[in-house]
Amino acid sequence: MKVWKFIKKWFLILVVFFFASTICTTLIYKFLPVYVTPLMVIRCGEQLVAGEKMILHHRWVPLEKISKYLPQAVIASEDNLFMTHNGFDIKELKKAIKENETRKHKRGASTISQQTAKNVFLWPSRTMIRKGFEVYFTFLIEIIWGKERIMEVYLNSIEMGKGIYGAQAVAKHKFNTTAAKLSWNQCAMIAAVLPNPIRFHVERPSSYILGRQSRISYLMRMIGPVDFRGEKPKNEKK
């Protein structure tokens, strides 16, 4: 009985600590830049284990210093209901589950909010435990951060090539420009390679990537400018 009480006591302490620490961290990241993520650390570790030179290009820039076309492009490509859902696209999730019953290569249905939660707080895997934590952190950032901050963190933390993270790094190392000066076509190209930025390259796009870029560009026109502080954009079916 004493052992059970001891276990129960420490379990409750761990639960309280988990919720308190994760909520506090989420509150801190609402205001402070996210300079490093678990994925960045993991990738650096993989490079060192493979005997490669460690490559890490990342520089935080506020959303107002990122081309207005990039949020438009990633919403068109990754999550066209981003501005209206609560962190989860249930309809798209059901569609993916049904398609995956017959697909050899499973496709995901993660929203930009879910991807941001995973990038900032978690590790890359497909386990149910990790997905459970992802759901929890997605709820947190939707409630505490809001759409504008989620997009800002997403565009600064997402992997965009080998050792390249965020809009400023991809602009500099792939287009020799800044995040603020990325053009419409460059933003569409960045969004086109996001499903697999290690395999696909914006500087050497395949016919498949060029086709994706063209479709994303079309969807960007359909969605229109993204205004986080005013009227929500029109959303079109992908």
* Confidence (pLDDT) at 4: 83
CA 45 to centroid of chain Cα atoms: 21
Residues found in the chain: 238
Instruction: Starting at the earlier edge strand, list the strands of the sheet with 57-58.
Output: 57-58, 164-165, 159-161
- What sign does the CA torsion over 110, 33, 171, 121 have? negative
Residue 107 has what pLDDT?
57
- Can you tell me whether residue 160 is helix, strand or coil? strand
> Does the domain formed by 33-223 have CATH 1.10.3810.10?
yes
pLDDT reported for residue 236: 42
What is the value of pTM for the model shown?
A: 0.89
Across the chain, which distance is largest between two alpha carbons, in Å?
67
107-154 residue pLDDT tens: 567 899 999 999 999 988 878 899 999 999 999 999 999 999 999 999
Name the β-bridge partners of 161: 164
The helix/strand/coil state of 57 is: strand
- pLDDT < 50 positions in the chain: 231-238
Note the pLDDT of residue 62. Answer: 97
Q: Are the beta carbons of 192 and 212 closer than 8 angstroms?
A: yes
> Which residue's entry shows tokens 């490669």?
52
